Amino acid sequence: MSAVTEQNIHAVKEFLMGLQDRICQRLEAFEPSARFHEDAWQRDNGGMGRTRVLAGDVIEKGGVNFSHVRGDKLPPSATADRPELAGGSFEAMGVSLVIHPRNPYAPTSHANVRLFVVHKEGLDPVWWFGGGFDLTPYYGDDADCIQWHQQALDSLAPFGEDYYDRFKAWCDEYFFLKHRQEHRGIGGVFFDDFNELPFEESFALMQAVGNGYIEAYEPILAKHKDTPFGERERDFQLHRRGRYVEFNLVFDRGTHFGLQSGAGRTESILMSLPPEVKWTYGYEPEAGSPEAALTDYYLTGRDWLGRQTS
């Protein structure tokens, strides 16, 4: 593992804050008048962040957050796979976003890119990157799924032939609701604990993923934001949003880290939750319906680019 310097960390922070700005600008372009509200915050230990939330006509609720937090002791969620780091101090920075469109035909999207650095006496600073982007439709569209995954492939291609395949499989495995035996969405890419390339190359990979998100999502949102819908589609959207809430509260490592570490802000951590949601006991869509097609066809870990050879 190559060394990390304060200059390296500053460069990552500058990129992440700029990424937040660019994504917010491109999402605001969909709204006639609504704009992101920024809640800037500071912590006594030097931690800071910019929580940005949008409630508009196209985006019912969107959040694009930047945070840079520090802590004296790693929480259990961060040391589960790295017990040798238990007791170390840390700093973590990243951009995390979730977009919940109003139109049920427009998918929810999520992205996150981050850097983690751990300091422990007797060890050189340990660093790793993580991130990815994934798509959660309510009414599936094959063209959207292919475009989304093609952007992920294109973003990662300069770094090696196998990264998309590895990170796609990791995304399918990670965003899986074990208690329902169901994928959260149609996937994308996900990676964590990444330091197998030198720091600058690992950073460049993270940048490519962060920049790739809006290139993948912008045309999908534009395509579906004005699709006509009625009460049936809205009702289904609200029930499926329940699955999103279940995953974030039960399984999501970022949510768990934020709450366990005490370094984040609860409002910012739970920003990802949709504004309206339904749970109906024993709810099942009608067999053979467009609603049933979501789980029967789309949420199956499908190989959208036809890359599997076996």
- State yes or no: pLDDT of 266 exceeds 60: yes
CA–CA dist 61, 9 (Å, integer): 31
- Report the mean per-residue pLDDT for the chain: 89
How many CB atoms sit inside 10 A of residue 29's CB?
10
- State yes or no: pLDDT of 182 exceeds 50: yes
pLDDT tens digits, one per residue of 202-234: 999 999 999 999 999 999 999 999 999 999 999
Determine which one of 10, 37, 110, 239 is catalytic: 110
Q: Report the domain count for the chain.
A: 1
Domain assignment present for residue 188? The answer is: yes
Domain assignment present for residue 308? The answer is: no
- Catalytic (active site) residue 119: no
pLDDT at residue 129, as a whole number: 96
Beta-carbon contacts of residue 206 (< 8 Å; ≥ 6 apart): 12, 113, 114, 115, 129, 130, 131, 194
Q: Is there a binding annotation on residue 179? A: yes
Give the confidence band of 307 by pLDDT, cuts at 50, 70, 90: confident
Q: Is there a binding annotation on residue 2? A: no
- State yes or no: pLDDT of 310 exceeds 50: no
**pTM higher than 0.85 for the full model?**
yes
Q: What percent of the chain has pLDDT over 70?
A: 90
* Strand blocks (E) in 120-255: 126-136, 176-177, 182-183, 187-194
Domain assignment present for residue 1? The answer is: no
pLDDT at residue 1, as a whole number: 66
Domain assignment present for residue 189? The answer is: yes
- State yes or no: pLDDT of 264 exceeds 60: no
CA–CA dist 51, 94 (Å, integer): 12
pLDDT tens digits, one per residue of 104-127: 999 999 999 999 998 877 777 789
b/e sequence 266-293, b meaning 16+ C-beta within 10 Å: eebbbbbbbeebeeeeeeebeeeeebee
Q: Is there a binding annotation on residue 96? A: yes
Domain assignment present for residue 306? The answer is: no
Domain assignment present for residue 121? The answer is: yes
Domain assignment present for residue 100? The answer is: yes
Domain assignment present for residue 79? The answer is: yes
Q: Is there a binding annotation on residue 68? A: no
Contact 199, 127 (CB under 8 A): yes
Q: Which CATH number is 128's domain given?
A: 3.40.1500.10
Range of the domain at 160: 6-298
